[in-house]
Structure 1
Amino acid sequence: MFLRARRSRVRLAAAGATAVALAATACGGSSSSGAAADTLVVYTGQSGDWQLNFNPFSPTTVEGPGTIFEPLFFFNNVRDAEPRPRLGESFRWNADGTELSVVLRDDAKWSDGERFTARDVVFTLDMISGNPAMNNTGYKGRATAVDDTHVTIRFDEPSYMEAPQVLGRIWMVPRHLWEDFATPATNVVEKPVGTGPYQLDEFKPQAFTLKSNPGYYAGEPAVKKVRYLSLSGNQAGADALKAGQVDWQTGPVPDIADVEKNYPGYRAITVPMNQAALFTCSNAALGCQGAQTDPAVRRAIYYAINRTQVNALAFENTASPISPGFALPERDRDQVSDQLREKTAPMQPDEAEAVRVLEGAGYAKGPDGIYAKDGEPLAMTVKVVAGWTDYITAVEAIGQQLQAVGIRVTPQQLSWNEWSDARGRGEYELLIDALYQGPAPDPFYTYSYFFSTPTTARVGEIANPNFARVSDPAIDQALTALKGVPFEDAAARQPHLDTVQTRVEELMPYIPLLTAGTTSEYNARKFTGWPTEDDLYSFPAVWSRPEHSEIYLKLKPASR
């Protein structure tokens, strides 16, 4: 049977409740600087030149998951919904959750004309299991092609929770091309061949364009082109939005509450999903170096942060509280552990507790006001992407807050490519980023991505996406146990979720900041079909894959 998601609770703040009835034209305020009426211009927050690489499994891929390379199904991770078929038609577990049978569609083709078959699925899954750097879902199954349209995936133990990950977060690639890749985890893909609704049209370092796939099995999309811009940062994004040069961006703009007034023809929607945190290279056993490898330092930072101030200064009060156990306080409220010391991180700083934690761990304040231990001052660098003005403001504010308790943190702005490479290789002390959600509305997936041993690596090797280098037997055992419990059995699942959350709170490899209110501004005058509070069919973030591709497929030019 199809896996049913638990009813989720999502708090939305939508700006601009009145539909704009004006039609888009090829030249005008909302025409995206002369872009055709069926061309969607998007800004993902990219700062600096794009690097040509459409390998969907690379942490530095520019694009592809969902648009060029597809999963078998789409799972909505913000509300209760049946999985929507993509390359698959249906799936079913056996009685004990050890065998997953998948029926594939028989009319899909690769963009070079070759037919998509079960052999491509088996090849992709085998490739993932043989390359840890590509295996960001921790997949451990064994796939067999029964015939061209049927695949069986076997697991050594019950693995109910694997379905949304295997079926919704692994991007199918063509066997006839990828079997020649010597190192598929790092191979640069310049000419991507996929089954998806879009193909690469043209690529330049400042912008690239996808074009609709005329042979797409579900019919050619109404949005004929998607153009991705690289700008200098959030301010440039807001300026481009003001000038009507961008149709969709996910990120902050000044005075977010009055988007419709300040950006005529545009509307906004805010969804609390991603969890902003200070990532730490936390595990000395895997090669991390620096004061942040001490859990006491991480906990002291946690207590010293004034989250109310950070929310006001950096996020225009669009963020909300975050749980130190990293279950979403609202969507996952029934699963937030009662065993946590604090169900949500304190919004006001507790400087006395931060000092107590440090001094209890053997740190002493030096004459310069900075704590030190064994002659090493408590000083770290926090990496942030140049142009990400909200995060830059956040780390600058946090730096001042930590100074008050004797911790020195210095922001370091990098290009996105440099920042991403440092994050993947663990070559950082602190950096600011967000933990993302999995394919279904449950915290298990965030845990399995960011806190499990199979998704990390030694410093210098690419981790994907356990960037903090977490490796904890109790967490691993609890995640393994969760895989074997049916999704609907909340009572049996909760003790394992309690274990994960309490260990995550104790270790604190990702220092929780706030649940980010992910806000998108979109051109409602030029396109119809956007997600709304009443029809949240996909998480509306242009950088969220494959969620963005579901939105591309729903949009239609308003002039039609």
Structure 2
Amino acid sequence: MTPIANNFNPFAVDTAAHLTFGAIYEPLFFFNQLSAEAPVGLIGDSFEFNDDGTVLTIRIKPDQKWSDDADLTAEDVAFSLGYGSNRDPDTVSIEATDATTVIVTYSSPKFTAASMILGATFIVPEHIWSKITDYMSETNPKPVGSGPYVLKTFTDAAYTLEANPLFREGAPDIKKVQDVGIDSNQSAEDLLKTGELDWVGQFVANPDGVTGSGRVATMNQQQDPTVIMTCADAALGCKGAQTDPAVRQALNAAMDRASISKKAFAGLAGESSPSFALLPRDEKWLSDPSLATSPQRADAAEAGRILEAAGYTKDADGFYGKDGTAIELDLFSPDGWTDYNDAAKLIAAQAAKAGIRVNARTVSEAEYWTPVSNGDFQLALYGLTQSLVADPFSNYDQYFATGATAKVGEMPAKGQNYARYSNADVDAAVAAAGATQDEGVKKEAYARIQAQIAQDLPYIPVVLNASQAFYNTAEFAGWPTADDLYANPLPYLSTASAVILTHLHPVEK
């Protein structure tokens, strides 16, 4: 989307430019969402926990450089793990014991959090970030990272990265990468067809129209849930009828997901699960088979029963309300996200049939992220990202735990619980799951979480998004294939996109 914000702050998860994450700044290891194999070392070389999971020893690769030619050492890693939102509140100590070894001690076991500590914490140079006191407002327009690329030029329409000659594996074969701001799915599709874009991740209703020339290949990994995100907790400042779980449950029952999938997503989306486990990948963690998928057909009668049991009555126009005030909910999505925009219209129409007034509207991407981040909204169509490994722990920890949210008006310092959801039972179960490697204990904790979030519905599942990647195979080789899914080919994913860039090379002609 344009204008692109000149922001390369790796702590600004939702507002920094895409290529901040992985291409410029790296985590210690790469965890492949599409594989059960061990993570790949980036800055990191190896890691191990002690027997009770409270001490994590990390060893990094020697002789690494920051892009400004300063040495990258264990001191930078120790600093990064303890800086800003990176610091886990359970951290007791972080010590760089030599140039390549860091020992982190926690007050509770961190086995299950390994993928977030090691795969989703971006390492920054101490000699620069130690001078930055307000890390969240910093835009970092001249980023110094360890990744395969460095920033060359920037405009609000596009920015260009060039290969980092100091990258530990040597400068990648693709010498320049330009990230272009596109204001709609249709514009990106048109540019892809005419050869002006080489790599796109978006919804395309007719992928054959893009791939028919043989220049572009595609892959659709259905894994990220599209949800109606609600501002759920009145105690944290949320306002509106959606703060009542009964209203969220009724809206859940009112949706015809099969119709939404067919009409808004061209039948390319999958069925979402209220457990927020990725199925069938996470099958062993599903506690109740009835939570495998959300209802696919609308049940207006059930929606009515839920609302009437909660004290709502219909007015003369056939819409439910309470105490003389009709339910009226605002649902927004980013303008140009055609699949989301169409889905929102369908949701509004389906809700109306169940007596729930939902007003669907579109906003610019900038106007979208501000209320999402600070909680000033009722309903927003939103895409959750799936866990890095075959275990839904990070979903529960990042999207449902109280520690991952903040009061309305504040941006969460750690995590992405923009729904402002808070439940003590869920918090206790998340803590229990994160403290063990015992699968039985984890399954019991996940059962508690799944039952509660499927009842409370702070995020109402819509579909498992059609996550389509399109990429130029005529001019570039080395892309992931069905036989070698070394990384997810969606270009907007953190770290995975950079891993792919380091695998690519021009096709010899």
For normalisation by structure 1, the TM-score amounts to 0.88
Shift of 1:52: 0.6
Which of 221, 245, 250 is equivalent to 1:295? 245
Q: Which residue of 1 aligns with 2:421?
A: 470
Q: What amino acid is the match of 1:298? A: R
Q: Which residue of 2 aligns with 1:198?
A: 149
Q: What amino acid is the match of 1:184? A: Y
Following superposition of structure 1 onto structure 2, how do residues 114-125 of structure 1 map, counting pairs within 5 Å? 114-125=70-81
**Any conservation in 1 of the 2:193–2:210 contact (CA below 8 Å)?**
no
Shift of 1:517: 2.4
Report the secondary structure of 1:543's partner residue.
coil
| Deviation string, structure 1 residues 481-519 (Cα, Å, up to 9, x no partner) | 112221xx4333211110110111111000011111211
Q: Output the CA distance in 1 between the equivalents of 2:486 and 2:439.
A: 25
| Deviation string, structure 1 residues 76-112 (Cα, Å, up to 9, x no partner) | 1221111111111111111111101011112211111
Q: Which residue of 1 aligns with 2:4?
A: 50
Which of 275, 282, 285 is equivalent to 1:335? 285
Shift of 1:256: 2.2
Task: Determine if the alignment matches structure 1 residue 326 to structure 2 residue 276.
Answer: yes
Which of 38, 48, 65 is equivalent to 1:82? 38
**Any conservation in 1 of the 2:90–2:107 contact (CA below 8 Å)?**
no
Task: Determine if the alignment matches structure 1 residue 156 to structure 2 residue 107.
Answer: yes
**Any conservation in 2 of the 1:139–1:166 contact (CA below 8 Å)?**
no
| Deviation string, structure 1 residues 373-432 (Cα, Å, up to 9, x no partner) | 122211111121111011001101111111111111112211212211111101110000
Q: Output the CA distance in 1 between the equivalents of 2:164 and 2:374.
A: 35
Q: Which residue of 2 aligns with 1:449?
A: 398
**Any conservation in 1 of the 2:189–2:210 contact (CA below 8 Å)?**
no
Report the secondary structure of 2:200's partner residue.
strand
Structure 2 unmatched ranges of 5 or more: none
Shift of 1:192: 0.5
**Any conservation in 2 of the 1:329–1:344 contact (CA below 8 Å)?**
no
Q: Output the CA distance in 2 between the equivalents of 1:227 and 1:275.
A: 28
Equivalenced residues, count: 505
**Any conservation in 2 of the 1:542–1:548 contact (CA below 8 Å)?**
yes
Which of 493, 515, 522 is equivalent to 2:464? 515
| Deviation string, structure 1 residues 431-456 (Cα, Å, up to 9, x no partner) | 00111123222111111110111111
Alignment root-mean-square deviation, CA: 1.5
Task: Determine if the alignment matches structure 1 residue 481 to structure 2 residue 432.
Answer: yes
Q: Output the CA distance in 2 between the equivalents of 1:548 and 1:375.
A: 52
| Deviation string, structure 1 residues 166-217 (Cα, Å, up to 9, x no partner) | 1110000111111111211221111101011011111111111111101101
Q: Which residue of 2 aligns with 1:227?
A: 178
Q: Output the CA distance in 2 between the equivalents of 1:441 and 1:342.
A: 18
Q: Output the CA distance in 2 between the equivalents of 1:139 and 1:445.
A: 16
Structure 1 unmatched ranges of 5 or more: 1-46
Distance verdict in 2 for CA 1:324–1:68, change over 3 Å? same
**Any conservation in 1 of the 2:248–2:460 contact (CA below 8 Å)?**
yes
Q: Output the CA distance in 2 between the equivalents of 1:386 and 1:454.
A: 31
Shift of 1:352: 0.9
Shift of 1:147: 1.4
Q: Output the CA distance in 2 between the equivalents of 1:119 and 1:67.
A: 22
Q: Which residue of 1 aligns with 2:227?
A: 277
Which of 199, 224, 247 is equivalent to 2:198? 247
| Deviation string, structure 1 residues 44-92 (Cα, Å, up to 9, x no partner) | xxx2210111001113111311110111111112211111111111111
**Identity rate, percent:** 36
Shift of 1:257: 4.8
Q: Which residue of 2 aligns with 1:21?
A: none
Shift of 1:259: 4.1
| Deviation string, structure 1 residues 455-487 (Cα, Å, up to 9, x no partner) | 11000000241100111111111111112221x
**Any conservation in 1 of the 2:192–2:210 contact (CA below 8 Å)?**
no
Q: What amino acid is the match of 1:181? A: I
Q: Which residue of 1 aligns with 2:333?
A: 384
**Any conservation in 2 of the 1:337–1:343 contact (CA below 8 Å)?**
no
Q: Output the CA distance in 2 between the equivalents of 1:52 and 1:127.
A: 22
Shift of 1:119: 1.3
**Any conservation in 1 of the 2:402–2:427 contact (CA below 8 Å)?**
yes
Q: Which residue of 2 aligns with 1:524?
A: 473
Q: Which residue of 2 aligns with 1:61?
A: 16
Q: Output the CA distance in 2 between the equivalents of 1:556 and 1:139.
A: 43
Task: Determine if the alignment matches structure 1 residue 212 to structure 2 residue 163.
Answer: yes
**Any conservation in 1 of the 2:278–2:386 contact (CA below 8 Å)?**
no
Q: Which residue of 2 aligns with 1:92?
A: 48
Task: For CA contacts below 8 A with separation 6 or more, give which structure has more relative contact order.
Answer: 1
Shift of 1:141: 5.7
Q: Which residue of 1 aligns with 2:62?
A: 106
